[in-house]
């Protein structure tokens, strides 16, 4: 057995626990999960069936943990693991799964299939079967602080503009702030208006906030790759910065997987509870809106819909807040047929959008979103994740669809009641 295969199998063995045991004991191979997965519905390729993507772990479980497996290996009947048992799954798991978790909502046995796929990634990544683009993004983050390299100069340049335009100050490294804001590289590079928006909203609502110059990048390539060591290191940087600045809360950016990494997985990666709270930016905005600290005026009148980012809504539980916020500034909002916890993914989550090899497939599975949009005929799609936004824009372009895509935070900022007294404060 090669060293890389051994490493992969060891990592997979480390994933076995009571959940895996009960999940694999329950699967009746009914195939229902296929119909929930856009990679299957849009390609009709049975290999994209969610539970099939877990095959490497399932095979190992069957062989080493089930009665028949143990019994047959005693009799010498076990088929040996081959490199192809891992290698052949790289494309299925990394290109053909956006970790959206829709399959986990429909399995009649209650199997959290997305959770098992995440475990399979641990094995593939340990064996080195990870798309090069994800490995590169992780290495750049480790070395330069972000998957797009060192973006601190770009961030500072944007902030300079924002400060000049608004007369506001973006606070860096303020000790004891109520909220330490984290950002995703995509927000800095592609959607810098997000940073301007939060600056205006926080000034408007008089929020005590800061950005750490040491750890502002919240995306986590380690999570996307399935490499817990890297994921832990990246979350650890934010936690260290938050502890150093003694902030009360860390604010996750809109980016869905960044939220999953810092809010839900982080304490488990680090093996300790945080000394601060973690809120998603939409949770914070909603709280400010409900308490009357955000006051908006005027309504968007174009026909709009909201695209639910999977990791924020279905896997993150932030479903009501975006709807409440959107309703406060838009008068004509129509829901897609499947929305909220049953939304369809944009197709680019889980590292798919960072993986160039998967581009053709990603555009193909966008047909699911296209069908949803065709049904409701809206002019504008609002979302709350910069990654979804990029992927949605790509998909719309590829299909010649004329539709605007907006970020919810920016939309709220555009409707703030003007408060001259705040400018320059």
Partner 1 sequence: MIANFIDGPLWYFSLFVFFAGVMLRLGSIIFSKHKVDLSVARGPEAPGAFRTIFSRFLPDKGMYPHIKLQVIAGYIFHLGLFAVIFFAAPHIKFFDEHFLGFSWTALPHWGFIFAAQLAFLGLILLWLQRVINPVSRLISKTGDHISSILTFIVLLTGCLALLESFSSLRLLHRFSVELFLIYFPFSSLMHAFTFIPSRAFTGAWFGRRGIKS
Among 5, 11, 100, 138, binds ligand SF4 (CB under 6 A): 100
Among 9, 12, 20, 97, binds ligand SF4 (CB under 6 A): 97
Least Å distance, CB 197 to partner 1, is: 25
Residue 20 three-state SS: helix
Phi, psi of 304 (to 5 degrees): -125, 160
47 binds partner 1 per the rule CB under 8 A: yes
Least Å distance, CB 266 to ligand SF4, is: 21
371 binds partner 1 per the rule CB under 8 A: no
Q: Mention every residue, 6+ apart, whose C-beta is less than 8 A from residue 92.
A: 47, 48, 52, 53
Q: How far, CA to CA in Å, does 370 sit from each of 28, 38, 102, 278, 393? A: 32, 12, 18, 34, 11
Q: Give CA–CA dist 7/127, Å, rounded.
A: 6
Least Å distance, CB 77 to ligand SF4, is: 25
**Each residue of 79-98: b (16+ CB within 10 Å) or e?**
eebeeebbbebbbbbbbbbb
101 binds ligand SF4 per the rule CB under 6 A: yes
Pairing verdict, β 277-280 and 304-306: unpaired
Binders of ligand SF4 among residues 40 to 79 (CB under 6 A) are 50-51, 53
Name the one range near ligand SF4 by CB under 6 A: 32-40, 129-137, 272-280, 318-326.
Answer: 32-40
- Residue 279: DSSP 8-state: E
The tally of CA atoms less than 13 A away on the side-chain side of residue 424 is 2
The interface partner of residue 114, options being partner 1, ligand SF4, none and the CB cut-off 5 to 8 Å by kind, is: ligand SF4
The interface partner of residue 416, options being ligand SF4, partner 1, none and the CB cut-off 5 to 8 Å by kind, is: none
Pairing verdict, β 304-306 and 380-383: parallel
Name the one range near partner 1 by CB under 8 A: 85-93, 145-153, 258-266, 325-333.
Answer: 258-266
Report angle CA 394, 314, 24 to the nearest 5 degrees. 110
Least Å distance, CB 280 to ligand SF4, is: 20
Which residue, 46, 78, 62, is CA-closest to 12? 62
Among 51, 93, 241, 288, binds partner 1 (CB under 8 A): 51
The residues binding ligand SF4 (CB under 6 A) are: 27-33, 36-37, 39, 50-51, 53, 97-103, 107, 109, 111, 113-114, 117, 345
The residues binding partner 1 (CB under 8 A) are: 16-23, 25-32, 34-36, 40, 46-47, 49, 51-52, 65-68, 104-112, 115, 263-268, 271-274, 277-278, 314-317, 319, 337-338, 341-342
């Amino acid at each position: 057995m090669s060293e890389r295969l051994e490493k992969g199998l060891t990592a997979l063995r480390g994933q076995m626990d009571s959940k895996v045991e009960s999940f694999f004991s329950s699967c009746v191979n009914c195939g229902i999960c296929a119909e929930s997965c856009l990679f299957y519905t849009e390609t009709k390729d049975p290999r994209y069936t969610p539970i099939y993507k877990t095959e490497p772990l399932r095979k190992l479980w069957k062989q080493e943990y089930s009665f028949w497996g143990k019994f047959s290996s005693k009799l010498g009947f076990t088929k040996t693991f081959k490199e192809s048992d891992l290698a052949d799954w790289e494309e299925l798991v990394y290109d053909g799964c956006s970790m959206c978790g829709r399959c986990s909502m429909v399995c009649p046995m209650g199997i959290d299939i997305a959770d098992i796929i995440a475990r399979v990634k641990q094995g593939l990544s340990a064996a080195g079967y990870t798309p090069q683009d994800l490995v590169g993004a992780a290495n750049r983050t480790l070395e330069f602080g972000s998957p797009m390299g060192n973006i601190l100069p770009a961030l500072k340049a944007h902030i300079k503009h924002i400060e000049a335009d608004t007369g506001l100050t973006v606070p860096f490294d303020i000790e004891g702030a109520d909220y330490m804001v984290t950002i995703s590289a995509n927000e800095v590079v592609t959607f810098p208006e997000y940073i301007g928006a939060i600056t205006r909203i926080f000034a408007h609502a008089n929020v005590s906030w800061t950005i750490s110059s040491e750890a502002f990048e919240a995306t986590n390539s380690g999570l996307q790759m399935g490499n817990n060591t890297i994921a832990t290191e990246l979350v650890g940087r934010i936690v260290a910065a938050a502890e150093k600045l003694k902030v009360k809360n860390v604010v996750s950016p809109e980016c869905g997987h960044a939220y999953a990494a810092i809010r839900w997985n982080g304490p488990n990666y680090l093996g300790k509870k945080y000394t601060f709270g973690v809120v998603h930016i939409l949770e914070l905005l909603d709280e400010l809106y409900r308490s009357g600290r955000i006051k908006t005026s005027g309504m968007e009148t174009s026909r709009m819909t909201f695209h639910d980012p999977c990791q924020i809504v279905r896997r993150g539980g932030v479903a009501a807040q975006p709807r409440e916020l959107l309703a406060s500034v838009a008068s004509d909002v129509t829901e897609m047929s499947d929305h909220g916890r049953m939304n369809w993914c944009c197709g680019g989550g889980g590292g798919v959008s960072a993986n160039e090899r998967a581009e053709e497939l990603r555009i193909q599975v966008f047909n699911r979103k296209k069908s949803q949009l065709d049904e409701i005929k809206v002019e504008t799609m609002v979302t709350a994740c910069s990654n979804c936004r990029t992927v949605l824009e790509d998909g719309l372009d590829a299909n010649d669809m004329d539709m605007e895509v907006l970020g919810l935070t920016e939309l709220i900022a555009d409707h703030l009641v003007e408060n001259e007294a705040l400018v320059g404060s």
